[in-house]
Chains A and B, each alone.
Chain A
Amino acid sequence: MKYFQEKAETMPLEELKKLQDEKLVKQVKHVYENVACYREKMDAAGVKPEDIHGTADLHKLPFLTKDDLRDNYPWGMLAVSKADCVRIQSTSGTTGRRVVAFYTQKDVDMWEECCARALVAAGATNEDVCQVAYGYGLFTGGPGLNGGSHKLGCLTLPMSSGNTDRQIQFMQDLGATVLCCTPSYAAYLGESMLERGIGPDDNPLKMGIFGAEPWTEEMRQGIEKILGIKAYDIYGLTEISGPGVAFECAEQKGMHVNEDHFIAEIINPDTGEVLPDGSTGELVFTSLDKEAFPLLRYRTRDICILSRKKCSCGRTFIRMTKPMGRSDDMLIIRGVNVFPSQIETVLLKEGYAPNYQIVVDRVNNSDTFDILVEMNEEMFADTVSGMTKKEKELAGAMKSMLGINPAIHLVAPHSIQRSEGKAVRVVDKRKLLSDSQWKG
């Protein structure tokens, strides 16, 4: 089995563009008629649905941001009647007020089919046993891959996140061949299995689909080695549907965007100008088929590159690189831009597991920059001076990558706080301070 939906996934480009043109015209009309907030935006920009004849007119439409969704919580962006909806999902809400997205049954089916495409692209068939260790519930990770696994016909293990002992036991006893979870949990699971004497050749897994948080190429290699599998990336966001908006194929060179359902654009985040193929910029999505929560030109805040270069897997869908950073995640420390992904890259290069936490604070009007890093057995020196030396070496490597000097603190394994399987990567105490000041 090469494709889940061959006709769509390998559609000739001309045909694909025609399909997008038709769907866009219909979708803009649907949104204009049913979503007051977007109608007002279009009116303010002087654009009518009649002005949109196809994708060539897409740039005329106004952008949507996460703030628009927050301002219209909960019902403001809903484009169908409540009675037509069957599901909500919600973002984790760590950075602000939650965003709630609605789904009709057709929306759920489309989303799950996208996830099934990702599973097939990774090499899965209906004979596989698929262990879904993403959180279930409001978070889209668990429900999305669970649904995709059902659509494909895999035996599905709805494990949800956490309870590592049970994950390992079910994986071994039921012969799970596909693992779906966050990359940090996959790495953690691999370490935990190794601690129990289960090496990369001693588990039944063949492949894994990992997403919902940024991870690097080095981290992919680490997971592939520790679990003895092929590790594939998957991309998505609750606002657009969930995981499966884009997915990796066997080439492992970028993620194919499901273009029969979503249009991807790259824009200059400062000017909003659309940038040509191959440019680095902010990723923007337009939902072509969503009925309940149809977002037009939604700004993801993810920075990446799109490429129309032909892929040997046969899919014609455009490919996006892993997001290089998020404008939200970007920390400005002592005036320097710092992305957590850079810190992860240095850790992996220096032989550490990517289990870390960045702590930023402001003391006497100057930023403090601390990184806690979990030790592993190979890096453990049994003298305090040996540990201090390793901390200094790592700080030096960070300095040459970031341009500023962090204080490194080596800590015991598993001592860094995790929430719903997602490691808490950044603790910015400066933000907490200013937030409470505003509230006060």
Chain B
Amino acid sequence: MALNQISVLVDNSQGILAGVTNELANAGVNLRALSIADTERFGILRMIVSDNKLATSVLRAKGLVVKETEVIGVKIGDQPGKLAEALTVLNLAGINLEYLYAFCARTQKHAYMVIRVADNDAAEKALTAAGFHMIEDTDIAKL
């Protein structure tokens, strides 16, 4: 039960992000969530999208380096302390976070966290045992 994220290596220069998102827009790909890690020379663009296959082929055709990465998605209540609770579960299970970012759905009173860890299964197990609901690729379409 995992969430497939696509990561894109981009130049750290003006207009790159507009170019990438325009390509996706023209192909009819919907973005659910997005985060950027940037360094002096390059950026890593991470996205949860409506169609990984389409997004990947569109961006590769433009000569971009694209990688699909398995991450985990967890649903948390939209109220103070809920993120802290989830992260405490992972901490107590000895799981180190590489990165995370959040997004909300239009209609539901929940936030969703995208989390990258070294061991997805262990993280899922710990969170599920603590009563959290995980989301996967098929859930993304319904949000």
Contacts and interface: CB of A to CB of B under 8 A. Distances in A.
**Do A and B come from the same complex?**
yes
Interface of A: 192, 195-196, 372, 375-377, 380, 382-385, 387, 409-415
B61 A380 contact: no
Contacts of B60: 195
A383 to B, nearest CB: 5
Interface string B67-111: 101000000000000000000000000000011000000000000
Chain B interface size, as a band, is 20 to 34
B63 A195 contact: yes
Contacts of A412: 9-11, 42, 64-65
Contacts of B42: 375, 387, 410-412
A273 B53 CA distance: 64
Which DSSP category, helix, strand, loop or mixed, fits chain B's interface? strand
Contacts of B5: 382
A288 B63 CA distance: 48
B67 A192 contact: no
B11 to A, nearest CB: 5
Nearest to B98: A383
A409 B98 CA distance: 21
B66 interface: yes
A414 B67 contact: no
B61 A195 contact: yes
A411 B7 contact: no
Contacts of A385: 98
B34 interface: no
Nearest to B71: A382
A411 B99 contact: no
Given A195-B61, A380-B67, A411 B11 contact: yes
B123 to A, nearest CB: 16
Interface of B: 5, 7, 9-11, 37, 39, 41-42, 44, 46, 60-61, 63-67, 69, 98-99, 116
A387 B39 contact: yes
Contacts of B66: 377
Contacts of A192: 63
A385 B99 CA distance: 10
Give the interface centre of B10, B60, B65, B66 by most chain A CB atoms within 10 Å. B65
B65 A382 contact: no
Give the interface centre of A375, A384, A412 by most chain B CB atoms within 10 Å. A412
B63 A377 contact: no
Give the interface centre of B10, B44, B66 by most chain A CB atoms within 10 Å. B44
12 contacts: A195-B61, A195-B63, A375-B9, A382-B5, A382-B69, A412-B10, A412-B11, A412-B64, A413-B9, A413-B63, A413-B64, A414-B63
Nearest to B6: A382
A414 B66 CA distance: 14
Nearest to A379: B65
Contacts of A382: 5, 7, 44, 46, 67, 69, 116
Contacts of A195: 60-61, 63
Nearest to B62: A195
A390 to B, nearest CB: 12
Contacts of B44: 382-384, 387
B9 A380 contact: yes
A270 B67 CA distance: 52
